[in-house]
Amino acid sequence: MTSNFQVNMDEYLPLRDVVFKALRQAILKGELEPGERLMEIQLAERLGVSRTPIREAIRKLELEGLVLMIPRKGAEVAKISENNLRDVLEVRRSLEELAIDLACQRMTQEELLELTKTEELFSQAIREGDAMRIAQTDERYHEIIYNSTKNEKLVQILNNLREQMYRYRLEYIKDEDKRQILLVEHDQIIKALALRHVHEAKIAIREHIDNQEITILKNLKEQENDVQRKISGRRGSV
Q: What is the DSSP string of 97-116?
A: HHHHHHHHHH--HHHHHHHH
Q: Between 43 and 9, whose confidence is greater?
A: 43
Mean pLDDT for the stretch of residues 46-50: 92
Q: Are the C-beta atoms of residues 193 and 100 closer than 8 Å to each other?
A: yes
Q: Per-residue pLDDT tens for 179-207?
A: 999 999 999 999 999 999 999 999 999 99
- Find residue 75's DSSP bridge partners: 69
46-54 contact pairs (CB < 8 A, 24+): 46/1, 46/6, 47/6, 47/7, 47/19, 47/22, 48/7, 49/7, 49/15, 49/19, 52/16, 53/15, 53/16, 53/18, 53/19, 53/20, 54/19, 54/23
Residue 197 confidence (pLDDT): 97
- DSSP track, 35-89: T-B--HHHHHHHHTS-HHHHHHHHHHHHHTTSEEEETTTEEEEPPP-HHHHHHHH
Q: What is the pTM of this model?
A: 0.76
Q: Per-residue pLDDT tens for 128-171?
A: 998 889 988 999 999 999 999 999 999 999 988 887 777 777 77
Residue 25 confidence (pLDDT): 81
Q: Band of the pLDDT at 6, cuts 50, 70, 90?
A: low
- Find residue 77's DSSP bridge partners: 67
Instruction: Say how far residue 92 (Cα) sits from the centre of its chain.
Output: 12
Residue 2 confidence (pLDDT): 47
Q: Band of the pLDDT at 10, cuts 50, 70, 90?
A: low
Q: Which of 16-25, 36-45, 132-141, 227-236 has the lowest mean pLDDT?
A: 227-236
Q: Per-residue pLDDT tens for 65-77?
A: 789 999 988 999 9
Task: List domains and CATH numbers for the chain.
Answer: 15-77 (1.10.10.10), 82-224 (1.20.120.530)
Q: Band of the pLDDT at 124, cuts 50, 70, 90?
A: very high
In percent, how much of the chain has pLDDT > 90? 55
Q: What is the mean pLDDT of the chain?
A: 88
Give residues with Cβ within 8 angstroms of 66, minimum separation 6. Answer: 24, 27, 28, 77, 78, 167
